[in-house]
Amino acid sequence: MNLTIGVDAGGTSTRAVVADATGVVRGSGRGEGANPNAHEPAVAAGRIADTILAALGDLDPADVRACVVGMAGVSKLSDPAIAAVFAAAWDRIGLRGVVRTVTDAEVAFASATSSPDGTVLVAGTGSIAGRIRDHRLAGTAGGYGWLLGDEGSAFWLGREAVRSTLEALGRGRSLDGLPAAVLAEALALSAVDVVTDGDRLAASRALITKANAEAPIRLARFAPLVSAADAAGDLAAKGITVRAAELLVTNALATRDTGESSPVVLVGSVLSPEGPVGALVRARLTGCEVLTSSDGVLGAAWLAALAAFEGNAVRPSER
């Protein structure tokens, strides 16, 4: 039997599927998060290996022709010592020489389309745009992390929500809408209680202190407040979502050739079709097919099938 394995290893969970040459999924497994930037490399590698074993069940690892692991934090494996830890994990489960690790962006793109070329635009907690050529990541725009970039991401939206609230407090503007939501979320403080200049100053200082006391990425928790306020007609929130969409589209277009019509695959909570940023991004990406990433683990399985069977590869599906 000829088998392939696809793995989608994220920060909070890991999934694996085993498919045969006809594209039928023969087994699946689920494990804990395995991003080597968030977990010790030995722990991350072990979790992926154990998830693969769970997916294999009684199937023989010797029958596996290719395995593709899509991993958040894959750049960590550029360190030879860490790469050796992962190689040892593959050896332990009988997959020596058949495992290829790729970025989570590559498996996300492959989950939505069989096209070898295109763009993947990711906007969740962070953001990045990737240029895909021959199913591989060939270049990026953005993706510099919260300190240097992540334009249009949930982090960026949350930071702008807090900044907008501080502006409203400091300039005596109305606290209805987005500011009220931010104050309630951050400080359990009702906007109607912040009426005098002294109260506004105290609330501003408390909000700044709260934001700086937490990990910067925690600002992402305010992103849903922006979407809700936008839907309710809040002009400040609308300005934030419009700017987020502009930044994301700019990064996406930076990865594409002039006149390119290959697919653009959107990934992440910020780019949900139901959200305001996702809707604006789709409206601005004219002249190309815009798709939404479905299941990253099946994208990884598709890349593994291409590696194993090339022109005879069948896209795996859980049917």
State the Cα–Cα distance between residues 8 and 108, nearest whole angstrom: 9
State the Cα–Cα distance between residues 271 and 241, nearest whole angstrom: 11
Q: What is the CATH number of the domain that holds 16?
A: 3.30.420.40
**Between residues 318 and 115, which one has the greater pLDDT?**
115
- Is the pLDDT score of 54 beyond 90? yes
Same domain? For 68 and 157 the reply is no
Q: Examine residue 12 and state whether it is found in any structural domain, yes or no.
A: yes
Average of pLDDT values for 43-70?
96
Q: What pLDDT, in 10s, does the model give residues 213-233?
A: 998 889 999 999 999 999 999
- pLDDT value of position 319: 59
Average of pLDDT values for 268-291?
92
| Inter-residue contact 207 to 165 (CB < 8 Å) | yes
- Binned at pLDDT 50, 70 and 90, residue 310 comes out as confident
- Per the structure, the count of domains in the chain is 2
State the Cα–Cα distance between residues 105 and 116, nearest whole angstrom: 13
State the Cα–Cα distance between residues 4 and 64, nearest whole angstrom: 5
Q: Examine residue 317 and state whether it is found in any structural domain, yes or no.
A: no
**Between residues 219 and 12, which one has the greater pLDDT?**
219
Same domain? For 242 and 193 the reply is yes
Tokens, residue 175: 């606290």
SS3 14: strand
Q: Where in the sequence is the domain holding 269, given as residue range(s)?
A: 115-288
Q: Examine residue 319 and state whether it is found in any structural domain, yes or no.
A: no
Same domain? For 270 and 306 the reply is no
- pLDDT value of position 313: 87
Same domain? For 195 and 274 the reply is yes
- Is the pLDDT score of 194 beyond 90? no
Average of pLDDT values for 258-280?
93
- Is the pLDDT score of 189 beyond 90? no
| Inter-residue contact 79 to 120 (CB < 8 Å) | no
- Binned at pLDDT 50, 70 and 90, residue 197 comes out as low
Same domain? For 300 and 279 the reply is no
Q: Examine residue 129 and state whether it is found in any structural domain, yes or no.
A: yes
Pairing of strands 264-267, 25-32: unpaired
- pLDDT value of position 190: 79
Same domain? For 265 and 154 the reply is yes
Tokens, residue 308: 């194993």
What is the per-residue burial (b if ≥16 Cβ within 10 Å, else e) of 49-75?
Answer: bbbbbbbbeebebeebbbbbbbbbbbe
Same domain? For 189 and 42 the reply is no
- Binned at pLDDT 50, 70 and 90, residue 72 comes out as confident
State the Cα–Cα distance between residues 88 and 117, nearest whole angstrom: 33
Same domain? For 95 and 141 the reply is no
Same domain? For 23 and 146 the reply is no
Same domain? For 236 and 191 the reply is yes
- pLDDT value of position 96: 94
- pLDDT value of position 318: 67
Mean pLDDT (the chain, rounded): 92
Q: What pLDDT, in 10s, does the model give residues 120-129?
A: 999 988 899 9
Same domain? For 174 and 253 the reply is yes
Average of pLDDT values for 166-176?
93
Average of pLDDT values for 242-267?
94
Q: What pLDDT, in 10s, does the model give residues 140-163?
A: 998 888 888 889 999 999 999 999
- Is the pLDDT score of 237 beyond 80? yes
Same domain? For 140 and 65 the reply is no
User: What is the model's pTM?
Assistant: 0.85
Q: What pLDDT, in 10s, does the model give residues 92-124?
A: 999 999 999 998 889 999 999 999 999 999 998
> Which class for 296: exposed (0-12), middle (13-18), buried (19 or more C-beta within 10 A)?
buried
Tokens 């700017």 sit at which residue? Answer: 243
- pLDDT value of position 106: 93
- For 216, left (φ over 0), alpha (ψ -120 to 50), or beta? alpha
Q: Examine residue 318 and state whether it is found in any structural domain, yes or no.
A: no
DSSP H helices, 255-295, are 276-284
